[in-house]
Amino acid sequence: MSALHTRALEEIARSAGHAADGAGATVRSALAAIRASRTGPDDLNAFLMLDDAGAAAVAEAVDRAVAGGSAAGPLAGVPVAIKDNICTRDMPTTCGSRILEGYVSPFEATAVRHLRAAGAVLVGKTNMDEFAMGSSTENSAYGPVRNPHDTTRVPGGSSGGSAAAVAAGLVPAALGSDTGGSVRQPAALCGVVGLKPTWGRVSRYGLVAFGSSLDQIGTFGKTVRDAALLCEVIAGNDPRDATCVDLPVPALTHASTMGAAGLTVGLPREYFGDGLDPDVRARCTAAIEALREQGVNCREVSLPHTAWAIPAYYVIAPAEASSNLARYDGVRYGLRDERAETARDVYTRSRSAGFGAEVKRRIMLGTFALSAGYHDQFYGRAQRVRARIRADFRSLFDAGVDAIFTPTTPAPAFRLGEKTLDPVQMYLSDVYTVTANLAGLPAVSVPIGTVRGLPVGGQVMADHWREDTVVRVAAALERALSP
């Protein structure tokens, strides 16, 4: 059994209030803990659905295999949660939206198939911002997720359900998706590890598209090693995804034990300017000193086009979303308003009833940015900014910088409802994370302490295909800051 499986036995049983022995008991404990989290005034609302029968059957099969001396996979018996925009055949995939309410995919995501092959037990689907559009998981059609550290605050988004589930000890690991920071930002606000691999490292087959050139499946864990193990399992070439690369997957769990001495870590001055909470800055300063004590060479660098990342992202992502979400038309699948009398009525009524306010806002923004007469002015210009952001990173890596350290978020978790009426302020929650998606880089958020009793994270980015480097630096930081 893996170390992650052993901790799953201990931690989930503890959260459920009783001892566990074996995969079957571990999964029962996990399901009991999840149900307990969905009751009372502190309901986390982290899960949208559970698969009791399927999880029990898989766990029993794992126990039989282990008892019979068969080789167990690296995730044998580990309960894992899946964000609800990743397709599964045995549970609905709603993307947190009414327009897909009750929809069950006829196929399964490649990442999910890899988890099953590794022996993982998929216990349920987690709540999320509708179609992954949000930074707080308040945009779900099924209600907001609450932060386990303070249930009056958001868990971050859009993968807030997965982050909250791991932070609360309901599951030891989970999958999310990251389009502009949707794994790393909630990981930081919930005090767990969130790893986004290089775009193309993990197959996107079965991940419901938001922004196709930005989306990437990522992993959550209590520790860097756990998130790295999950990523190592789901990574690899996939003929079903033409953008997935055929490159060897690095031994990420081994990388987590290597240390980071001798590496050069850049500290981009643009990420430590105005807008960063002073207490978060102090935690980052302490993290940088901890890296130096580990033998890491930390030096100030510049990424001069960072200021244009948010404007570029919020043109490119809505533009791609407006195209990807055109398929939800009330004709082929999903919600259909039966009152419609004409084809135009079907489209208009179904989409009006099925999509929430934030999704509608981004569809309109994206459609406008792609419209005749504005395409080059907005979308074309945003793509040119994206190229310059990529070039900024390229110049640093070519100059010998191994990794980059920044804050993950400008402040700790904000209160539920605090930013829902101010979309711009909500979008700025991702100010430090969108660059990794625009450049297609691997990145990880690792806890670096607390601010006013709430967790905050530090972000590590590295060159394309160097997930091993971000894991090395993040694990070194984790060890240095552990109490």
Q: Give dist(CA 334, CA 357) in Å, integer.
A: 18
User: b/e string for 235-258 if b means 16 or more Cβ within 10 A?
Assistant: bbebeebeebeeeebbebbebbee
List 159, 182, 350, 445, catalytic entry: 182
166, two tokens:
């791991």
The alpha-carbon radius of gyration of the chain (Å, integer) is 21
Q: Which of 83, 196, 222, 419 is catalytic?
A: 83
Ordered DSSP codes for 134-154: -SSS---TT----BTTBTTB-
The residue type of 200 is G
Name the β-bridge partners of 455: 450
Instruction: Verify whether residue 182 is a known catalytic residue.
Output: yes
For 219, the token pair is 């992993």
Name the nearest CA neighbour of 84 among 167, 158, 26, 33: 158
Active site annotation includes 83: yes
Q: Tell me if residue 158 is catalytic.
A: yes
Structure tokens at 168: 């609360």
- Sequence-distant (6+) residues with CB within 8 A of 109 are 86, 87, 88, 203, 205, 206, 207, 217
Of 37, 105, 158, 350, the catalytic one is 158
* Among 122, 108, 168, 167, residue whose Cα is nearest residue 23: 122
The DSSP letter of residue 47 is: E
Please calculate the CA angle 61-65-71 and round it to the nearest 5 degrees: 130
Please list the active-site residues.
83, 158, 182
